[in-house]
Structure 1
Amino acid sequence: MITFLSYGMAALGLTVLMRAGQVSFGHAMYAAIGGYAVASVARSFPAVDAVVVLLAGVLASVVAGSLAAAFLSRYRGIFFGMLNLGISMVLFALVGKLYHWTGGTDGLRFERPTILGMALERGEFELTVLLLTLGLAIAVAWFVQRYFASAAGQMMSAIKTNETRLEYIGISARKSLAEGYVISSALVGLAGSLIALVQGLVTPESGYWIRSGEYVFIAILGGAGHAVGAFLGAGVFEVIKLVAAAYFTNAWQILLGTTLIAVIFFAPHGMMGWLQRRGTQRERKA
């Protein structure tokens, strides 16, 4: 459940960029940055609280996202997506090489921190993190949906539909995309921080391009029309992985690929878009 909710928040970060017609193939790097920040703070300050390490993970992702946005916000389309991928692969390689700071391919393991000053056993700790993750997921979905409806969110949509007209009325498309990019990096960083916290471990694989591909898969599967779509896509993704691992051990990727192809053909706006269209059709009939 924690993984499902965390993946939903990460996919929601990709959804923010998809509103502007941009897709990042390297956004898992912010999950890795958040996770390594959590591990580093927890190892350096053993008495620190879980809330503090989560804030450190999100802050590290926001700082990194702000630096990247200053450069990447001028690019669009395939250039935007591939530049993100390139930066993430450079980061992945560095994390694997800098063993003294990152633990190399073994990653960083840390002791379970306290939560709000309470030292909990593993079961209680995981339950508390689950409740915390659920609360954060609801808050994040509400915030992103409000963002979509705000002027800033409408400007992100305008980048996709007619960026030139946006510039003509005196609004900087680059600034709007940069703001959306920072929000996106914060959401993915929060997801990576939560996963690292509950596992007590972070490895370079958390920022690998395959993980980025999973986030994109979930975002497309759920659709960018509503914030809930990312969590719907994450839930379906986790169910497919569990069923495929149980019954199609050597061919689970085929099942995932087939599902994505079916969604693109029959629900091009994602599952949420399909549900919204069905709801509209029912209202018209009524």
Structure 2
Amino acid sequence: MQTKSILLLIGGALGLFVLGLLVPEWLSYLMIIAMGKGIVVLGVVLLMRAGLVSFGQGLYYCIGAYVAGTLTQFAGISDVLLILLASIAASVLVAALVGLLLCRYRGIFFAMFSMAFSMILYGLLVRSSVLGSTDGFNVLRPSLLGWVPSDDASSDLVLAVAVVMVMILGSLMWLYFRSLSGYAGEAVRENEIRVEYLGTSVFRIIYTKYLIAAALAGIGGTVTALVSGHVDPEMAYWTTSGEFVFIALMGGTSHVAAPMVGAGLFELLRTYAFAIAPYTWQMILGSTLLLIIIFLPSGLWSLVSRFSRQARG
């Protein structure tokens, strides 16, 4: 069953790559943005499965983006592999320090404290003239192992990177969700005291998941920065973190593909909602989420699970 699911994930990601090459440029751009945000939401889902809702993943999303921008703009490093490694390292390093405090809290305290750290970064970036203050700065075109693509091929390179990240991270997270460590998060959500009685550290379980979620957010921020060619402090603002929670609720938490589905629908819905109602597009998004919560409380992926059960039956 695990092998079949992983193969489906890989096949779906390859299908996205082919589709991204065939569709118009604007739609390919939305697909890459959706994959970048979907990777971030995968970390949000990881925390939600442990009973934690983070409104501060914008912190690591922004760190990953700014690392990509800083390396290409100021350090002369454009290799996408080095940028990804640096983004992961920076995100995990910050998370290792922040998590020592944050992972001791639960419920609304975890949500608000996570948002507070994200807003601290936002405030620092707004006041940093070196990093462009509120305007941010541009991210130069990435390269791969010495190959510098043309302007037209640059987006294809980022598309390929995004697809590879979705394949690798999706497969790894699928295996992790079904490991003892993955199920430990659900045990913590149900009853922390019993988990402690079994001789397992609840803090270590939460701390590990927080580090993984930070790494995923850093990767997602890097992908977004490379395809958009620009970074700004809004990436750390609380509304950005709210988007990730919004997407997680839309897609559901029962499968690693759910964040990608939710992110894709979110980007399409926001694009067309803004085109139809540029001053009230938030109402369309809010109404959509409300309908999903009422009729599909487990998210959009519950439809896939329902159809699969009916097909097997």
TM-score range, shorter chain: over 0.9
**Helix, strand or coil at the partner of 2:191:** helix
Structure 1 runs of 4+ aligned residues shifted over 4 Å read none
Deviation at 1:13, TM superposition (A): 1.0
Q: Is the 8 A contact 1:36 1:108 kept in 2?
A: no
What is the match of residue 55 of structure 1?
Answer: 85
Distance 2:298 2:140 in 1: 43
Q: Is the 8 A contact 1:111 1:200 kept in 2?
A: yes
How do residues 81-160 of structure 1 correspond to structure 2 at under 5 angstroms?
Answer: 81-100=111-130, 102-160=131-189
Q: Which runs of 5+ in 2 are unaligned?
A: 1-30
What is the match of residue 75 of structure 1?
Answer: 105
**Helix, strand or coil at the partner of 1:250:** coil
Q: Which runs of 5+ in 1 are unaligned?
A: none
Deviation digits for residues 201-235 of structure 1 (CA, Å, limit 9, x no counterpart): 21101111111111100011111111011011111
What is the match of residue 12 of structure 1?
Answer: 42
Aligned letter for 2:210?
A: Y
Distance 2:170 2:77 in 1: 31
Q: Is the 8 A contact 1:46 1:113 kept in 2?
A: no
Deviation at 1:241, TM superposition (A): 1.0
Distance 1:238 1:197 in 2: 17
What is the match of residue 199 of structure 1?
Answer: 228
How do residues 205-220 of structure 1 correspond to structure 2 at under 5 angstroms?
Answer: 205-220=234-249
Aligned letter for 2:301?
A: M
Q: Is the 8 A contact 2:139 2:225 kept in 1?
A: no
| Identical columns (%) | 37
Task: Give the one of 60, 64, 78 matched to 1:30.
Answer: 60
Deviation at 1:184, TM superposition (A): 0.4
Q: Is the 8 A contact 2:79 2:145 kept in 1?
A: yes
Q: Is the 8 A contact 2:252 2:300 kept in 1?
A: yes
Select between 105-114 and 8-17 the one with higher mean Cα deviation.
105-114
Deviation at 1:166, TM superposition (A): 0.4
Deviation digits for residues 52-110 of structure 1 (CA, Å, limit 9, x no counterpart): 1121112111111111111111100000000001111111101111222x221121324
What is the match of residue 183 of structure 1?
Answer: 212
- Taking only aligned residues, the RMSD between alpha carbons, in angstroms, comes to 1.4
Aligned letter for 2:61?
A: A
The verdict on how the C-alpha distance between 1:125 and 1:21 changes in structure 2, with shifts beyond 3 A counting, is same
Matched, 1:241 2:241: no
Distance 1:47 1:168 in 2: 49
Select between 23-32 and 238-247 the one with higher mean Cα deviation.
238-247
Deviation digits for residues 144-201 of structure 1 (CA, Å, limit 9, x no counterpart): 1111001111111111111111011000111100000000011111010111122232
Distance 2:277 2:93 in 1: 41
Distance 1:171 1:281 in 2: 38
Deviation at 1:137, TM superposition (A): 0.8
- TM-score (norm. length: structure 2): 0.87
Deviation at 1:113, TM superposition (A): 3.3
Aligned letter for 1:12?
A: L
What is the match of residue 258 of structure 1?
Answer: 287
What is the match of residue 21 of structure 2?
Answer: none
Task: Give the one of 270, 277, 282 matched to 2:306.
Answer: 277
**Helix, strand or coil at the partner of 2:87:** helix
What is the match of residue 22 of structure 2?
Answer: none
Deviation at 1:45, TM superposition (A): 2.6
